[in-house]
Amino acid sequence: MDLQASLFILILISLLYLLFSLLIKPKLWCNCEICSAYLTLSWSKQFNNLCDWYTHLLKNSPSKTIHIHVLRNTITANPENIEYMLKTKFHNFPKGKPFSIILGDFLGRGIFNVDGDSWKFQKNMASMELGKTSICCYVFDIINCEIKTRLVPLLSKQDQVLDLQDVFKRFSFDVICWFSFGIDPSCLELSLPMSKLAMAFDLASKLSAERAMNVSPLVWKIKRALNLGSEKELKRAIERINLLAKEVIRQRRKTGFLNSNDLLSRFMSIINDETYLRDIIISFLLAGRDTVASGLTSLFWLLSKHSNVVSAIKQEADRIIGENKELTSFDQMKELHYLQATVYESMRLYPPIQFDSKFCQNDDVLPDGSVLKKGTRVTYHPYAMGRIEEIWGEDCLEFKPERWLKHDGVFSPENPFKYPIFQAGFRVCLGKEMALLEMKTVTLSLIRRFRIELLTPPSPDQHPRKPHENQRQLYGELSSGSGQINPTKAVNPGLIYDINEDLYISFLCKQGYDTRTITLLIGGKKEYHCFSFKPGRGIDGLNYPSMHIYLDGTNPNISAVFHRTVTNVEEGDLEYNVKVASPKELSVVVIPKTLKFMVCR
């Protein structure tokens, strides 16, 4: 069957399925205010994303529960409802088939993709192993080794720009692979090619999640059956993961696993099925990679804005560990109560998993009176809960680690159903202590060695000279600036490169991006067409400190003209000396050599 025929069949079956859905679906449209706003996207005029809109709705709901009827989705931020779902009537709120089907090819029968006896078996097995003191010490050693030999040396290098979120993703993948498989993917070794396992894992995670974005499950199922598009890519990624995982398992059997501490070796003494072992370990990789990286990224963003919190963590560490002394044991970490409170507070405001869903197995009624029909998706929303005054008080929007401490400075955890960051009840996260240990160790190690500063101003009113051109993405590079674009971080200081939205779009047009991609990058509410924008001046058309030119090595006479405009935002008569850094092979001429600034009032 050729590609055209396959696509025709895919489209035809999808249309028939949608037509069938139209005939049997009980509620295609709902005129209630929430459903109308959802279907017409009118919510997007006030809110940047669905999470913030849901938060607004939940805050204003007397029961802290809302219903999206057209999605058969009930969303709650009510701690009593969450306790009912995750503990009281746990068996009536499983993960559900829709979830397990979407992730089935990737996670198989892993703990995060199953219910019932299979889930119970894996939970008991993992609880037994993860609760041992020996494994906590093993994890502590892995984390410390990765920090000292890779993370700190990488961040200590001069004259480089790093994406901290990417660094944390690489770090957490190295750690979780060591812990789970006993292998080192060396993701933090930037000089080496990215690990094949890491690349395949990223792709499989992304494409599996995208299945949920399809109009109907039938769309991706047909693509999978015909081996087309994203499903073809997903299949290849999973095959690579399976190949690598099974090879590790076979090698471990040859070399012996009884004296190894990694999770795979521990489970191999209980399970013989290679595929089952693969599914279990891949689930732990998924849980231990992105969540930790996301949590660390949010935490360091908050620390960069709260120097008082950084100082308090350092003072506590100096008192418990000793000034200029290294953390040497897992037990020492238990005494750092303020650090623990800081990590908890960060995840209260920015949970790595913003919401989680279960499916109602039989008709039920939540404690707040919400009626649930069989098959209803029930979502609890930690992100919204962290922003509700009735749950966390009038200061709920403040980053305040002290809220977690008793009067004697000892950390005091909250009701887990009020703070379901690690889930709660029977499905509480088994890797909770490992994740906390990793986040706390990284945080302590870095803030004692480095100064944390926010590269971009957190809001338009902190830009002292000129208002932002684009306020849709307050923390984005375009809207807030980075380096020389931000007056508070400008060269020498005071010179900024102004970039507005139109200039950035012109640059993207010049680089060959299409309308759809530009719209996604800008984050706008309308489509952006290149013919509507004036072309940028120079070879790249972007007013930015850095300049790029492609050299193919065959033509020694390549030349290019870049146009840049700088604004002086410093008061008074000052002289700036700016040095142009370029490769030795290039001759760079700056015209004019001297800049004179006009006063703008």
pLDDT in tens, 76-119: 999 999 999 999 999 999 988 888 888 888 888 887 777 888 88
Residue 364: the pLDDT is 96
Tell me the chain's radius of gyration from C-alpha atoms.
27
Domain boundaries, the chain: 97-447, 472-601
65 backbone dihedrals φ, ψ, rounded to 5°:
-140, 140
Residue with tokens 């499989």: 204
More confident residue, 214 or 230: 230
Indicate the range of 338-352, 404-418, 547-561 predicted with least confidence: 547-561
Give whole-number Cα distances, 81 to 262, 369, 390, 415, 559, in Å. 38, 10, 15, 13, 66
What's the CA gap between 447 and 311, in Å, rounded? 9
More confident residue, 551 or 566: 566
Q: What does the buried/exposed string (b/e) look like for 544-556 if buried means 16 or more CB atoms within 10 Å of the residue's CB? A: beeeeeeeeeeee
More confident residue, 398 or 468: 398
pLDDT at 490 over 80: no
Give whole-number Cα distances, 107 to 37, 144, 277, 280, 564, in Å. 35, 29, 11, 8, 50
Burial class (CB in 10 A: 0-12, 13-18, 19+), 439: buried
pLDDT band at residue 372 under the 50/70/90 scheme: very high
Name the class of domain 97-447. mainly alpha
Residue 38: the pLDDT is 83
Residue 91: the pLDDT is 92
What's the CA gap between 502 and 469, in Å, rounded? 9
What's the CA gap between 64 and 60, in Å, rounded? 7
Most confident among 177-191, 217-231, 366-380 (mean pLDDT): 366-380
More confident residue, 326 or 147: 147
pLDDT band at residue 32 under the 50/70/90 scheme: confident
What's the CA gap between 430 and 432, in Å, rounded? 6
Query: Looking at residues 356-382, what average pLDDT do you find?
Result: 94
Residue 414 has what DSSP assignment?
Answer: P
What's the CA gap between 524 and 473, in Å, rounded? 10
Can you give the length of the chain in residues? Answer: 601
Residue 70 has what DSSP assignment?
Answer: G
pLDDT at 251 over 90: no
Burial class (CB in 10 A: 0-12, 13-18, 19+), 279: buried
pLDDT at 424 over 50: yes
pLDDT at 27 over 70: no
What's the CA gap between 401 and 345, in Å, rounded? 5
Residues making up the binding site: 429
pLDDT band at residue 470 under the 50/70/90 scheme: very low
Return the closest-CA partner of residue 293 out of 178, 173, 471, 396. Answer: 173
Query: Looking at residues 224-249, what average pLDDT do you find?
Result: 87
pLDDT band at residue 370 under the 50/70/90 scheme: very high
pTM of the full structure? 0.72
Indicate the range of 36-50, 97-111, 249-263, 351-365 predicted with least confidence: 249-263
Do residues 252 and 244 touch, judged by C-beta distance below 8 A? no
Copy the structure tokens of residue 130.
Answer: 């993860």
More confident residue, 45 or 477: 45
More confident residue, 94 or 539: 94
Do residues 513 and 507 touch, judged by C-beta distance below 8 A? no
Do residues 15 and 236 touch, judged by C-beta distance below 8 A? no
Query: Looking at residues 545-565, what average pLDDT do you find?
Result: 71
The answer for residues whose C-beta is within 8 angstroms of residue 33's C-beta and 6 or more apart is none
Residue 335: the pLDDT is 93
pLDDT at 375 over 70: yes
Residue 325: the pLDDT is 86
Q: What does the buried/exposed string (b/e) look like for 99-118 if buried means 16 or more CB atoms within 10 Å of the residue's CB? A: bbebbbbbbbbbbbbbbeee
Copy the structure tokens of residue 184.
Answer: 């080192």
pLDDT band at residue 163 under the 50/70/90 scheme: confident
The answer for residues whose C-beta is within 8 angstroms of residue 450's C-beta and 6 or more apart is 155
Query: Looking at residues 276-302, what average pLDDT do you find?
Result: 87
Residue 471 has what DSSP assignment?
Answer: -
Per DSSP (E only), the strands in 329-427 are 356-359, 364-365, 371-372, 377-380
Residues making up the binding site for heme: 429
Terminal CA-CA length for the chain = 70
* Average model confidence (pLDDT) across the chain: 80
pLDDT band at residue 529 under the 50/70/90 scheme: confident
pLDDT at 28 over 70: no
**Nearest-5° Cα angle at 211, 376 to 274:** 100
Residue 523: the pLDDT is 60
